[in-house]
C-alpha cells in the first residue's frame, strides 16, 4: 500500500509543478498594435491598470486587435520581455456572437 501512496504523492507533485509552469494571462484594453513589428500595448483591466507591452511575433492571434478592443493574452515572461503565446480578441468574439444571433 505504501508504494501506491508514494506514487500518488509523486504524481500530484509533478502535476502541480506542471500547472505552475503554464503561461500567465492578462485581460485589458488595446492601446496600440503594430502589425508589422508584431507589438501589442495593452492596459491591464486590474488595478493598478498597468500598461504592458507584448511581443506577438510567435503568437496565435484570432481577430486582429484594434485600438479600444478588449483582449485576453496568454504570455510568458522571457528575459525581461513579455512574449504573447495567444491573443484572444474578446470584443470581436462578442460582436461575432451578436451578429450570429440576429
pLDDT tens digits, 8-48:
555 555 555 555 578 899 999 999 999 999 999 999 999 99
- CB count in 10 Å sphere of residue 49: 10
Query: What sign results for the dihedral spanned by CA atoms 43, 45, 49, 53?
Result: negative
Decide if pLDDT at 95 tops 90. no
In a domain, 32, yes or no: yes
In a domain, 5, yes or no: no
H/E stretch holding 98: helix 90-101
Decide if pLDDT at 92 tops 70. yes
pLDDT tens digits, 41-83:
999 999 998 999 999 999 999 899 999 999 999 999 988 899 9
pTM: 0.72
Number of domains in the chain: 1
In a domain, 15, yes or no: no
In a domain, 82, yes or no: yes
Q: Is 99 helix (H, G, I), strand (E, B) or coil?
A: helix
In a domain, 55, yes or no: yes
Paired residues of 51 in beta bridges: 43
In a domain, 67, yes or no: yes
Residue 59 CA to residue 45 CA, distance in Å, equals 21
Residue 56 CA to residue 38 CA, distance in Å, equals 5
State which residues form the domain around 75.
23-101
We report the CATH number of the domain holding residue 77 as 2.40.50.320
Amino acid at each position: 500500500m505504501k508504494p501506491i501512496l508514494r506514487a500518488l504523492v509523486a504524481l500530484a507533485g509533478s502535476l502541480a509543478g506542471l500547472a505552475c509552469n503554464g503561461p500567465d494571462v492578462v485581460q485589458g484594453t488595446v492601446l496600440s498594435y503594430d502589425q508589422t513589428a508584431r507589438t501589442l500595448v495593452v492596459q491591464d483591466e486590474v488595478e493598478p491598470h498597468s500598461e504592458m507591452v507584448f511581443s506577438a511575433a510567435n503568437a496565435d492571434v484570432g481577430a486582429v486587435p484594434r485600438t479600444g478592443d478588449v483582449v485576453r493574452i496568454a504570455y510568458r515572461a522571457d528575459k525581461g520581455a513579455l512574449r504573447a503565446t495567444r491573443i484572444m480578441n474578446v470584443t470581436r468574439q462578442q460582436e461575432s456572437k451578436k451578429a450570429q444571433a440576429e
